[in-house]
Amino acid sequence: MTAENPGRSRRTLVGIDAAITACHHIAIRDDVGARSTRFSVEPTLAGLRTLTDKLSGYDDIDATVEPTSMTWLPLTIAVENAGDTMHMAGARHCARLRGAIVGKSKSDVIDAEVLTRASEVFDLTPLTLPTPAQLALRRSMIRRAGAVIDANRSWRRLMSLAR
């Protein structure tokens, strides 16, 4: 609830550009776009705690992240620990949106800013965290696919040597 409008809670849009080894870049803007904040956090437990602490100070957050490897998982937990909702936007959609807003430039800060606007353009549904069993199944399927590719590659080498 805001002081100016006690009956209306203000929506805050958050864009998170997830990184695997570099810093996560976060852009925060309120519903009317008047206030914009940018910061970055390390991809560590301390960085995720910092993210949760900073997001706890805002009302009604809609956070959006791109599916960068599995980095969205701890970020989603950090956002949910702050009592907020995480959404995932497809990488292709974000690339098109980035192209429409800022041309072909790409940087982590631009990506975070673009993700704050994703909910205005796309119909995003809240992200549901997978269960540990689902994560284990996903990991095993990825490993199996890699093993099949390696076995096929070895088979083709043997066949080419046999000729």
Give the domain ranges of the chain: 12-128, 130-163
Q: Is the dihedral of CA 42, 13, 129, 50 positive or negative?
A: positive
Question: The domain 12-128 belongs to what CATH superfamily?
Answer: Ribonuclease H-like superfamily/Ribonuclease H (3.30.420.10)
pLDDT at position 57 is 82
Residue 147: which H helix or E strand, with range? helix 132-162
pLDDT at 2: 42
In this prediction the pTM is: 0.64
How far is it, in rounded angstroms, from Cα 140 to Cα 126? 26
Residue segments in the chain with a per-residue pLDDT below the cut of 70 = 1-10, 31-35, 91, 93-96, 98-110
Q: What is the pLDDT of residue 100?
A: 65
